[in-house]
Amino acid sequence: MPFTPIHMGPGIFLKSLLQGSFSLMVFGWAQIIMDIQPLVVLITGEGHLHGFTHTYVGATLLAIFSALTGKYLSELGLRILRIDDHGKPISITWKITFISSFVGTYSHVILDSIMHRDVEPFYPFFSENELLGMITVAQLHKLCLYSGLVGAVLYFVVSYIIERKKI
């Protein structure tokens, strides 16, 4: 999959449904962390493109790292962007941080397992990838794109409804 942005579609959709119970920023941070190893391989030409980071064991470790760093980076980003909760800085709970991070890394493995032959999601336990080719790459890209578009519309509709109820 092209680097990280296409992975955001399902995250945007989840954010639209879960609103404040899901952090799209932490999810996005986890996506970036997941693709550092393939980026290094592409730059250096050495290593396994979708190696250990694209396994569930690797994704678990990266989810923990993404959560521990992403909470503070996301809160800082929200402050810099001046996104707040009626004048109060937004604080992301640890529960939301870890859920968002794990959803980010695990969904990344699932999506890449569908389209990349070299992904071995259950390594080191076994090397089969039962998701490979489950749908075409074009269908996968459309699924991610459309889930993001639908999610964006839903997010703003739900946010509007919530704000109207507060008035």
Whether 105 and 36 have beta carbons less than 8 Å apart is answered as no
Q: What is the pLDDT of residues 16-43, one digit of tens each?
A: 999 889 999 999 999 999 999 999 999 9
Which tokens sit at 32?
């970036």
Tokens linked to 4: 């990280």
- Residue 100 has what pLDDT? 98
Evaluate if residue 117 carries a pLDDT over 70.
yes
Please confirm whether the linkage preceding 121 is cis (ω < 30° from 0).
no
Question: Could you tell me which residues are beta bridge partners of residue 85?
Answer: 88
Q: How confident is the model at residue 167 (pLDDT cuts 50, 70, 90)?
A: low
State the burial class of residue 136 (Cβ atoms within 10 Å of its Cβ: 0-12, 13-18, 19+): exposed
Residue 163: CB atoms within 10 A of its CB come to 9
User: 28-32, 73-77, 86-90, 120-124 — which is least confidently predicted?
Assistant: 86-90
Return the exposure string of 106-134: e unless at least 16 CB atoms fall within 10 Å of the residue's CB, then b. Answer: bbbbbbbbbbbeebbbebeeeeebebbee
CB 59 within 8 A of CB 53: yes
Provide mean pLDDT across the span 104-125.
96
Reduced to 3 states, what is the DSSP secondary structure of residue 83? coil
Taking every pair of C-alpha atoms in the chain, what is the biggest distance, in angstroms? 58
